[in-house]
Amino acid sequence: MKPILLHEDRLFPADKTTRDIARNLYQSVRSLPIISPHGHTDPRWFAYNESFGNATELLILPDHYVFRMLYSQGISLESLGIPRWDGGESETDPRKIWSLFAKHYHLFPGTPSRMWLDTVFKDVFGMTDMLCSGNSMEYYEHITSELAKPEYRPRALMDRFNIEVIATTEGALDPLTHHGVLKGTGWDKRVITSFRPDDVVDASRADFEDNVIKLGGMTGENTTDWQGYLQALRMRREVFRSHGATATDHGHPTAATADLSLGECEALFSRCLSGQSTAQEQELFRAQMLTELAGMSVEDGMVMQIHPGAFRNHNANLFTKFGRDKGADIPMQTEYVNALKPMLDKYGSDPRLNVILFTLDETVYARELAPLAGHYPSLKLGPAWWFHDSPEGMLRFRHQVTETAGFYNTVGFNDDTRAFLSIPARHDVARRIDCRFLANLVVEHRISEDEAAELAVDLSYNLAKKAYKLEK
């Protein structure tokens, strides 16, 4: 058996002088509370605080990073136990699924998934030997038995991980039942929701028209009317805010915004509701809705997150069988300067607007995003996201945006994950990389070590708390 390799100086520079500074900076932030202001963990975990079922259910089935890699090597999603939308059969034996995963764990070296998983295995469950076929069942039985203990229930783990606040993400039509259970318990201050209205904004979805009607049923508004539709969205935002939401989230294919006249909006909305709209009309509607939703953020103060640039569900065959979010999303080239201008012309100088921009297109960091955030008071840059949530991606982000946007036009780190147990590992990687970057500035005599120490705390904790309006 090979030991799990988690060296205390992992991700720090090879040069001793710089490494020593990075280590000292890291020691000052490693134990800070975790702010997890954007993610996709299941709120029912925290509402009912029941034990997680088994190792497979917790560590494989929700994690598209894991089964994406395995699928790329010819391992079917059926064999990994991913449920099928079309009624087809999938493996249901969690031990078989775990064994298959362990057999192929050699596929993950060099990936962030490997570092996250090894950290979970060692720091959370106390394993010392690396996962492989030879110890797969030992791993499975040990993890599953540990999960049955009270100290491994969701709320206990939140305390153990020192997670101060975590935000889940729900669609506009979600009844927020689980967040309702948390109301008045004190946990509603630590587990909050975020408003993601893509289900009633994206006219390219097959269920768009039905969803708009459901929106009307939930709010009592006539959502076939443009003004009634907008009012219904305002009402749902208010419900989300009453469940702790401080932010909205928008996963549009592009960053396009628009500023149409009232008559144009009404005609476009009617066309989209007819089910006969073209792809161009659907894109224009999404663009107009980003501007409308920015206006609503000006009104109610919610922070607006824009996550463009993913070609969602690229594998049509996989989508037909398994549905959304199954590892088949692919980054696309994304333009921001012209795309955001209609929204920024209307609201960009309003001090009440707070927008956090993300990208999957790293070519725009220095050319577009950093200059935009370095000018507009309403804009901040989200961290290296999704495919770039890695040590290399985080360093590329800092190197390309800092010279123009500085540190304080960024928002620290958020983990954006469904994999609850990996949250401490992800934040630890971000803290190590930021300390590495700061240490290089110190040895180059560009900032003092005292200044670097202040920045390390801000990047690890303060900036996220401020950007997402969690300072209460």
CATH topology of domain 16-51+153-467: TIM Barrel (3.20.20)
| Mean pLDDT value of segment 273-289 | 97
pLDDT bracket for residue 328 (50, 70, 90): confident
| Mean pLDDT value of segment 376-388 | 97
pLDDT digits (tens, 9 = 90+) for 201-219: 999 999 999 999 999 999 9
| Mean pLDDT value of segment 338-350 | 97
Residue 386 · residue 251 · CB < 8 Å: no
Taking all residues of the chain, what is their mean pLDDT, rounded to a whole number?
Answer: 97
Which residue(s) pair with 34 in the sheet? 163
Residue 456 · residue 435 · CB < 8 Å: yes
Read off the tokens for 191. 């587990």
Closest CA to 98 of 125, 59, 68, 152: 59
pLDDT bracket for residue 64 (50, 70, 90): confident
pLDDT bracket for residue 324 (50, 70, 90): confident
pLDDT at position 472 is 64
Q: Is the pLDDT of residue 353 over 80?
A: yes
Tabulate helix, strand, coil % of the chain (nearest 5): 55, 5, 40
pLDDT bracket for residue 62 (50, 70, 90): confident
The domain ranges of the chain are 16-51+153-467, 52-152
Q: How far is CA 182 from the centre of its chain?
A: 22
Read off the tokens for 274. 């007819």
> Using only C-alpha atoms, what is the Rg of the chain?
23
pLDDT digits (tens, 9 = 90+) for 439-457: 999 999 999 999 999 999 9
What stretch of H or E contains 196?
strand 195-196
Residue 289 · residue 372 · CB < 8 Å: no
Residue length of the chain: 472
Q: Is the pLDDT of residue 323 over 70?
A: yes
* Burial label, 444 (beta-carbon count in 10 A; 0-12, 13-18, 19+): exposed
Q: Is the pLDDT of residue 295 over 90?
A: yes
pLDDT digits (tens, 9 = 90+) for 150-167: 999 999 999 999 999 999
For residue 31, count other CB atoms closer than 10 A to its CB. Answer: 8
Q: Is the pLDDT of residue 326 over 90?
A: no
Read off the tokens for 260. 């149409």
Domains 16-51+153-467 and 52-152 in one fold = no
- Percentage of the chain exceeding pLDDT 70: 100
CA distance 66 to 112: 10
CATH 3.60.60.10 corresponds to the domain 52-152: no
| Mean pLDDT value of segment 143-149 | 98
Extract long-range pairs of 441-445: CB within 8 Å, 24+ residues apart.
Answer: 442/18, 442/21, 443/15, 443/17, 443/18, 443/21
